[in-house]
Amino acid sequence: MLAAEQMVLEENEMLINEGKRIGINEGKRISVINMLKKGYPIETISQITELSEKKIKEIIKSIKE
């Protein structure tokens, strides 16, 4: 029984961490979009969000589609 409980706890922790990662990424995506709307240069957005310029360009492409 303890092994099964341990597996459930580990799976829950993994799911929580995945949810946090998704939330952080979505928050950064929203921040990028808002900064682009305000006219921030990609280089500045990259420095603020710690995302690569390539990733920012991917976000730009995704919002244009």
Sequence spans of domains, the chain: 31-65
Per-residue pLDDT reduced to its tens digit, 1-56: 688 899 999 999 999 999 999 999 999 999 999 999 999 999 999 999 999 999 99
Rounded Cα–Cα distance for residues 30 and 40 (Å): 14
pLDDT score recorded for residue 17: 97
Which pTM does this prediction carry?
0.79
Instruction: Give the separation between CA 18 and CA 26, rounded to whole angstroms.
Output: 12
CB 28, CB 51: distance < 8 Å: yes
